[in-house]
Structure 1
Amino acid sequence: MTHTLLLEIGLEDMPAKVIVPATEQLKDKVSTHFRDHDMPFDTIQVFSTPRRLAVKVEGLAEGQKDKTESVKGPAKRIAQDEEGNWTKAAIGFTRGQQASVDDITFQTIKDEEYVFVEKHIKGLSAEEVIQKLDSLLPSLSFPVSMKWGTHSYRYIRPVHWLTVLLDEKVVDMTLFDVSSGRETRGHRFLGQAVTLNHANDYQASLKEEHVLVDRNERQALIISQIRALCIQNNWKDPLDNKELLEEVTDLVEYPTAFYGSFSEDYLSVPENVLETAMADHQRYFPVRQDDDKSEFLPYFIAVRNGNEEHIEQVRKGNEKVLSARLADASFFYDEDKKLSIDDFVSKLSTVSFHEKLGTLYDKQERLTAIAHLLAPYFDMTDEQVGLIERAGMIAKFDLVTQTVNEFTSLQGEIAGIFAAERGEDRQVADALSEQYLPKSTDGRLPETKLGALLSASDKLDSLLSFFSVDMIPSGSNDPFALRRQAMGIVRIFKAFNVSVQLDELINAIAETVISVETKAAYMQNTPVVIDFIKDRVDQLLSSEEGLSDDYDVRKAVLESDQTDILALIDHAGALADQKAKAGFKATVESLTRVSNLAGKAGDEASLSTDLFDTQSEKTLYEALLKAEELLADDLSADQQWQVFAEIHPVIDAFFDHTMVMAEDPAVRNNRLALLKRIDDLSSGFARFDRLVIK
Structure 2
Amino acid sequence: MAKDFILEIGIEEMPARFLGPALAQLKELAAKSLQEQRIAYNSIETFGTPRRLVLYVKDVAENQAALEKEVKGPAKKAAFDVDGNPTKAIQGFLRSQGVNLEDLVVRPIGQVEYLYAIKREAGRPTAEVLAEICPGLITGLHFPKPMRWGDLELRFARPIRWLLCLFGDTVIPFTLANLTADRLTYGHRFLAKGSLSVANAEDYFTKIRAAYVLIDPAERKELIWRQVQELAAAEGGKVEEDEDLLEEITNIIEWPTALCGSFDADYLKLPPAVLVTPMREHQRYFPVLGQDGKLLNKFIAVRNGTKDYIEIVTAGNEKVLRARLADAAFFFEEDLKQPLAQKVDGLKKVVFLEGLGTIADKVDRIGALADHLAEQLGADEKQREKVQRAALLAKADLVTNMVFEFPELQGEMGREYALRNGEDKEVAEAIYEHYLPRHAGDCLPASLAGRVLSIADKLDSIVGCFAIGIQPTGSQDPYALRRQALGICHILIEGKIHLSLRELIAWAYQGYSEGVELKHDLAQVTSEIEEFFKQRLKGILSDKGLSYDTVEAVLGAGFDDIADVVDRGQAVAALRELPAFASLMTAFNRANNLAKHATGAAIQEAYLEHPAEQELFQRLQALQQTVQPLLANRDYAAVLQQIATIQQPLDAFFESVMVMAEDENIKANRLGLLKGLVELSKSVADLTKIVVEVK
Q: TM-score, normalised by structure 2?
A: 0.92
1:416 Cα deviation (Å)?
0.9
Describe the shift of the 1:493–1:47 C-alpha distance in structure 2 as closer, same or farther (beyond 3 A). same
Q: Does 1:612 align with 2:607?
A: yes
Q: Does 1:161 align with 2:170?
A: no
Q: TM-score, normalised by structure 1?
A: 0.92
1:66 Cα deviation (Å)?
2.3
Q: Kindly report the root-mean-square deviation, in angstroms, between the aligned alpha carbons of the 2 structures.
A: 2.6
Query: 2:517, 2:590 → 1: CA distance?
Result: 43
Query: In the alignment, is the contact (CA less than 8 A) between 1:138 and 1:175 conserved in 2?
Result: no
Describe the shift of the 1:388–1:142 C-alpha distance in structure 2 as closer, same or farther (beyond 3 A). same
Query: In the alignment, is the contact (CA less than 8 A) between 2:464 and 2:509 conserved in 1?
Result: no
Partner of 1:76: 76
Equivalent of 2:618 in 615, 622, 644: 622
Query: In the alignment, is the contact (CA less than 8 A) between 1:661 and 1:668 conserved in 2?
Result: yes
Query: In the alignment, is the contact (CA less than 8 A) between 2:16 and 2:251 conserved in 1?
Result: yes
Q: Deviations over 1:596-629 (max 9, x none)?
A: 2333346xx3324267343344443433333333
Partner of 1:112: 112
SS of the equivalent of 1:300 reads strand
- The one-letter code sitting in structure 2 at the alignment partner of 1:586 is S
Partner of 2:207: 205
Partner of 1:464: 463
* Structural mapping, 1:86-97, within 5 Å: 86-97=86-97
How many residues are aligned here?
Answer: 686
- The one-letter code sitting in structure 1 at the alignment partner of 2:389 is R
Partner of 1:61: 61
Partner of 2:400: 401
Partner of 2:679: 680
* Structural mapping, 1:467-616, within 5 Å: 467-507=466-506, 515=514, 521-543=521-543, 545-547=544-546, 550-601=547-598, 605-609=600-604, 612-615=607-610, 616=612
- The one-letter code sitting in structure 2 at the alignment partner of 1:258 is L
Query: In the alignment, is the contact (CA less than 8 A) between 1:260 and 1:301 conserved in 2?
Result: yes
SS of the equivalent of 1:315 reads helix
1:579 Cα deviation (Å)?
1.9
Query: 1:512, 1:406 → 2: CA distance?
Result: 31
SS of the equivalent of 1:354 reads coil
Query: 1:505, 1:533 → 2: CA distance?
Result: 13
Query: 1:682, 1:295 → 2: CA distance?
Result: 55
Describe the shift of the 1:306–1:509 C-alpha distance in structure 2 as closer, same or farther (beyond 3 A). closer
Query: 2:252, 2:113 → 1: CA distance?
Result: 66
SS of the equivalent of 1:349 reads helix
Describe the shift of the 1:369–1:660 C-alpha distance in structure 2 as closer, same or farther (beyond 3 A). farther
SS of the equivalent of 1:572 reads helix
Query: In the alignment, is the contact (CA less than 8 A) between 2:463 and 2:509 conserved in 1?
Result: no
Task: Give the percent of matched residue pairs that are identical in Structure 1 and Structure 2.
Answer: 39
Describe the shift of the 1:282–1:588 C-alpha distance in structure 2 as closer, same or farther (beyond 3 A). same
Query: In the alignment, is the contact (CA less than 8 A) between 1:68 and 1:118 conserved in 2?
Result: yes
1:359 Cα deviation (Å)?
2.2
1:508 Cα deviation (Å)?
5.5
Query: In the alignment, is the contact (CA less than 8 A) between 1:33 and 1:133 conserved in 2?
Result: no
**Unaligned regions of 5+ residues in structure 1, if any?**
none
SS of the equivalent of 1:438 reads coil
SS of the equivalent of 2:333 reads helix
* Structural mapping, 1:296-315, within 5 Å: 296-315=295-314
Describe the shift of the 1:611–1:73 C-alpha distance in structure 2 as closer, same or farther (beyond 3 A). farther
1:342 Cα deviation (Å)?
1.6
Partner of 1:366: 365
SS of the equivalent of 2:123 reads coil
Query: In the alignment, is the contact (CA less than 8 A) between 2:374 and 2:384 conserved in 1?
Result: yes
Query: In the alignment, is the contact (CA less than 8 A) between 2:469 and 2:519 conserved in 1?
Result: no
1:377 Cα deviation (Å)?
6.9
* Structural mapping, 1:6-405, within 5 Å: 6-131=6-131, 132-192=133-193, 193-234=195-236, 236-288=237-289, 290-292=290-292, 294-375=293-374, 384-405=383-404
Q: Deviations over 1:142-173 (max 9, x none)?
A: 11111111112211111111111112111232
Q: Deviations over 1:213-270 (max 9, x none)?
A: 1112222222232223223322x22252221111111111111222333334433432
Describe the shift of the 1:88–1:568 C-alpha distance in structure 2 as closer, same or farther (beyond 3 A). same
Partner of 2:423: 424
- The one-letter code sitting in structure 2 at the alignment partner of 1:113 is E
Query: 1:530, 1:209 → 2: CA distance?
Result: 57
Describe the shift of the 1:436–1:34 C-alpha distance in structure 2 as closer, same or farther (beyond 3 A). same
Describe the shift of the 1:129–1:256 C-alpha distance in structure 2 as closer, same or farther (beyond 3 A). same
1:100 Cα deviation (Å)?
1.1
SS of the equivalent of 1:70 reads strand
**Unaligned regions of 5+ residues in structure 2, if any?**
none
- The one-letter code sitting in structure 2 at the alignment partner of 1:211 is V
Query: In the alignment, is the contact (CA less than 8 A) between 2:253 and 2:304 conserved in 1?
Result: yes
SS of the equivalent of 2:646 reads helix
Describe the shift of the 1:518–1:669 C-alpha distance in structure 2 as closer, same or farther (beyond 3 A). farther
Return 379-388 or 416-425, whichever deviates more: 379-388
Query: 2:2, 2:577 → 1: CA distance?
Result: 47
Query: 2:509, 2:477 → 1: CA distance?
Result: 24
- The one-letter code sitting in structure 2 at the alignment partner of 1:571 is R
Query: In the alignment, is the contact (CA less than 8 A) between 1:164 and 1:180 conserved in 2?
Result: yes
- The one-letter code sitting in structure 1 at the alignment partner of 2:674 is L
Describe the shift of the 1:60–1:89 C-alpha distance in structure 2 as closer, same or farther (beyond 3 A). same
- The one-letter code sitting in structure 2 at the alignment partner of 1:426 is K
Query: 2:588, 2:375 → 1: CA distance?
Result: 35
Query: 2:596, 2:112 → 1: CA distance?
Result: 45
Describe the shift of the 1:307–1:379 C-alpha distance in structure 2 as closer, same or farther (beyond 3 A). farther
SS of the equivalent of 1:478 reads coil
Return 513-522 or 500-509, whichever deviates more: 513-522
Query: 1:399, 1:437 → 2: CA distance?
Result: 16
Q: Deviations over 1:256-305 (max 9, x none)?
A: 222333334433432212211111011122233x332x442333221111
- The one-letter code sitting in structure 1 at the alignment partner of 2:692 is I
- The one-letter code sitting in structure 1 at the alignment partner of 2:2 is T
- The one-letter code sitting in structure 2 at the alignment partner of 1:245 is L
Return 435-444 or 670-679, whichever deviates more: 670-679
Query: 2:627, 2:113 → 1: CA distance?
Result: 64
